[in-house]
Amino acid sequence: MSQTFDTIFAGGTIVNHDGTGLGDVGVKDGRIAAIGDLSQASAGERVDVSGLHVLPGVLDTQVHLREPGAEHKENLEAGGRAAVLGGVTAVFEMPNTKPPTSDAPALAEKVRRASNRMQCDFAFYAGATTENADILGDLERETGCCGVKIFMGSSTGNLLVPDDDHVRAVLRNVSRRVAVHSEDEYRLRERRELAETGNVLTHPVWRDEETAIRCTNRLLRLAREEGKRIHVLHVTTADEMDILAANKDIATVEATPQHLTLAAPDCYEEMGTRAQMNPPIRDARHRAGLWRGLAAGIVDIIGSDHAPHTLEEKAQAYPKSPSGMPGVQTLVPIMLNHVNEGRLSLARFVDLTSHGPNRVFGLSAKGRLAVGYDADLTIVDMKKSRKIEDSWIASVSAWTPFDGMTVTGWPVGTIVRGRRAMWEGEIPGAAEGQPIRFVDTLPRGA
Q: Is 60 a catalytic residue?
A: no
Strands 406-416 and 419-423: antiparallel
Strands 19-28 and 88-93: unpaired
- Taking Cα atoms as reference points, which of 341, 422, 355 lies closest to residue 385? 341
Q: Which of 60, 300, 305, 374 is catalytic?
A: 305
SS (H, E, C) the chain: CCCEEEEEEEEEEEEECCEEEEEEEEEECCEEEEEECCCCCEEEEEEECCCCEEEECEEEEEECCCCCCCCCCCCHHHHHHHHHHCCEEEEEECCCCCCCCCCHHHHHHHHHHHCCCCCCEEEEEEECCCCCHHHHHHHCCCCCEEEEEEECCCCCCCCCCCCHHHHHHHHHHCCCCEEEECCCHHHHHHCHHHCCCCCHHHHHHHCCHHHHHHHHHHHHHHHHHHCCCEEECCCCCHHHHHHHHCCCCCEEEEECHHHHHCCECHHHHHHHHHHCCCCCCCEHHHHHHHHHHHHCCCCCEECCCECCCCHHHHCCCCCCCCCCECCCCCHHHHHHHHHHCCCCCHHHHHHHHHHHHHHHHCECCCCCCCCCCECCEEEEEEEEEEECCHHHCCCCCCCCCCCCCEEEEEEEEEEECCEEEEECCECCCCCCCCECCEHHHCCCCC
- Taking Cα atoms as reference points, which of 122, 76, 88, 150 lies closest to residue 304? 88
Question: What are the residue numbers of the active site?
Answer: 305
